[in-house]
Amino acid sequence: MKTMVALAVLLLVTAAALADEPAVSIRDAPGHDAVEANCGACHSLDYIRTNAPFMTPQVWTAEVNKMINAFGAPIAPEDAKTIIDYLVRNYGKPG
């Protein structure tokens, strides 16, 4: 019985992981491509829209730096600046 339950759970988890999810779109503005390529390589771009109401320019800067320094995101310095500028202009709240 335990084997059957484990198998059922495994099948449900696998099915959920394979489900087609619609692509998340972010605002089309300068820096869009850098954000999609660098940020979208590791996580859903939904995080941007979900967290935007709370993100000041300082917090977006800290978040991008955290991705690079703490999580090892391979983002070039010029891309980091482009990403931060994009996030602040399009999803930042006044600081």
Would you say residue 95 has pLDDT above 80? no
Tokens of 4: 């059957």
pLDDT digits (tens, 9 = 90+) for 40-62: 999 999 999 999 999 999 999 99
Torsion 54-90-35-56 (CA) sign: negative
pLDDT digits (tens, 9 = 90+) for 75-87: 999 999 999 999 9
Q: Please, what is the angle between helix 57-69 and helix 77-91, to 10°?
A: 150
Q: Tabulate helix, strand, coil % of the chain (nearest 5).
A: 65, 0, 35
pLDDT digits (tens, 9 = 90+) for 12-51: 655 555 555 677 789 999 999 999 999 999 999 999 999 9
Considering the four listed CATH numbers 2.30.30.830, 2.60.120.260, 3.40.47.10, 1.10.760.10, the one that applies to the domain covering 25-91 is 1.10.760.10
The span from the CA of 23 to the CA of 90, in Å, is 19
